[in-house]
Chains A and B, each alone.
Chain A
Amino acid sequence: MSTLQVRDLRVSVEDTEILKGVDLTVSSGETHALMGPNGSGKSTLAYSIAGHPKYTVTGGTVTLDGEDVLSMKIDERARAGLFLAMQYPVEVPGVSTSNFLRTAVTAIRGEAPKLRTWVKDVNAAMAELDIESSFSERGVNEGFSGGEKKRYEILQLALLKPKIAILDETDSGLDVDALRTVSRGVNSARESTDLGVLLITHYPRILQYIRPDVVHVFYHGRIVETGGAELADRIEAEGYVRFGEPKEAVS
């Protein structure tokens, strides 16, 4: 049982405060949906937890099972059990996906996986996510389509087996079939490893496949409302107007 705890987190980018006191607790087996308008700071929250150097934490705490996440290096956070499926996965030319996956899993587990079972595991995970085997020879995300990149993020999730995963708009850019495939991948990780999930999305549709325990509304740098799955439908119907003036009007 693991718990990611975010307390009063404040984050700035180039002297602009983006996160203005975020409180959130995600434990193993739980799925939290996070919805909010463009620019409200959802990715900022995700990247800050993962340790992206562009973001400066100016206040608050993030802990994983009581350990101070903010004092960990980026790779230490991943090895502690955090995973971020990025909104815009990064291309790393020339680094083959197979080499990358093996290097990553070796780093996370602290030892190289046994070659025979590893190849089998990768192939099975790729098949489950409808990723063609030819991808193993390609560079990491190199020339992948938008949807392929998202699937590849979930492949990594399946192989790295984190404790808590943040999925930043993994559903954006997926066709209907891919959305089902990817959701199946996330659900099987939830079942097999008791994964805790923070699922950032704009669309209630993915929530029909990945049922959230709670839905949070993120607005202007903080969580402004928390409710059940029905909250997502209400947002779909009403938008975010009731949470305040349009963002532009707020100084």
Chain B
Amino acid sequence: MATLIQSGPAEHEVSLSGPGAQTTGSPAERFTSREPEAFEVPSSRDEVWRFSPVDRLRPFFEVFEPDGVIQADNTVPDGAHVDVVEPSSTAAFGRALEPADRVSALAMANATRGLHVRVDANAELSEPIVLVRKGISGRSYGHHVVEVGANARATLVLDHVGEIQIAANMEIVVGEGAQLSIVAINDCEPGSIQLSSYAAMVGRDATYRHINVSLGGDIVRIVPTVRFSGRGGRAELLGLSFAGPGQHFETRLFVDHGEPDCSSDVLYKNALEGENARTVWIGDVRIRPEATGTQTFELNRNLVLTDGARTDSVPNLEIETGEILRAGHASASGRFDDLQLFYLQSRGIPADEARRLVVRGFFAEVVNRIGVPQVQDRLLAAIEDELMRAGT
């Protein structure tokens, strides 16, 4: 068995900041536990938290009495069911999620209510399940369980708006041959903090797509993980964020290939504009010895529109078998390409409009892959708003 550890950007255009090239320091074996006290109180010395604004997250590091008020609006097409349950009462509780940090473990232990989303086996939903969550006040825990039956096809849109302070988990069990797309839109008001783990267990020959969009809120830190429970599974993780002044958008993803013939495809694009706009992207992919025939590729691109913004990007690929089909990663962070702007301007397009075209073009690759028309239209409009607000 060949062991090969590859860390750091394979293709790195500009390193604006961040840890330089080499490694996340993420151990191949990541520590997980349901017991919150098994994790130390996070500090900036903690590998998992070192890019996060821990001081502003402190209220989430100890047990709190949830007082959050969140308005829910659910659209549930035939073939799908959404119930409010005590999370631990569902059979699937803990099937997909192994908390990888203290906040996630606290949410798992303390969320007394959560959604149980089920899609019947063989169902083909005619329209997406849409769960709108509008935060009114207070701080909450969440723990939701999503189960998609064998060979079903479903799209789940999670739309977060209003003022939200939440530590939440979503466990997702995708049945054999099923296809599930989850689109999580984080577009909350200033002052909002979302700390969310999305843990998927992808069945044999199933397809799981997770699309994260972060536009609003002070801090959005998401931890998407994917594991496979049978051969032939596919995972596609897409992300798009536009961080404005003072916003911190962080993604720490982990794809754990432990079954043969599975694939993962990761594409995250972030744009940053304004003082202390911040994005963090950590992309850990592990290919275990059993995961022969794996194909994986991950790409993160960050477009820094102004001074005073900071982006970190750390892809990390650990390959423990020689028998894979393809494994690659790339990361690039940079400013506007002057040549592109010159080209557009030389055709009469004013500088600010040229910049907007380039930003839209930058995001187009992700937007076009979302595959949910109403979400795509909304995103294009939101990007437009951000651009107008930024006055780029």
Contacts and interface: CB of A to CB of B under 8 A. Distances in A.
B106 to A, nearest CB: 40
A79 B345 CA distance: 10
B343 A89 contact: yes
Interface stretch (B12-20, B211-219, B348-356): B348-356
B249 interface: no
Nearest to B359: A94
Nearest to A90: B343
Interface string B362-373: 111100000000
B346 A78 contact: yes
Main SS class of interface, B: helix
Nearest to A110: B348
Contacts of A91: 340
Interface in B325-349: 337-340, 342-349
Contacts of B343: 86, 89-90, 92, 140
Given A51-B346, A160-B347, A107 B361 contact: no
Given A53-B338, A73-B351, A94 B362 contact: yes
B346 to A, nearest CB: 5
Given A74-B342, A90-B339, A107 B358 contact: no
A93 interface: yes
A108 B357 CA distance: 16
Contact of A78 (B348, B362, B363, B364): B348
A79 B338 CA distance: 20
A86 B340 CA distance: 12
A179 B342 CA distance: 26
A212 to B, nearest CB: 24
B346 A95 contact: no
A80 B346 CA distance: 11
16 contacts: A53-B338, A74-B351, A75-B345, A75-B350, A75-B351, A78-B346, A78-B348, A90-B342, A93-B362, A94-B364, A95-B360, A103-B349, A103-B357, A107-B347, A160-B347, A160-B348
Interface of B: 337-340, 342-351, 353-354, 357-358, 360-365
Given A51-B345, A75-B354, 4 more contacts: A50-B346, A83-B346, A93-B365, A139-B361
Closest 8 CB pairs of A and B: A94-B361, A94-B364, A78-B348, A95-B361, A74-B345, A104-B347, A90-B343, A107-B348
Interface of A: 50-53, 73-75, 77-79, 83-84, 86, 89-96, 99-100, 103-104, 107-108, 139-140, 156, 160
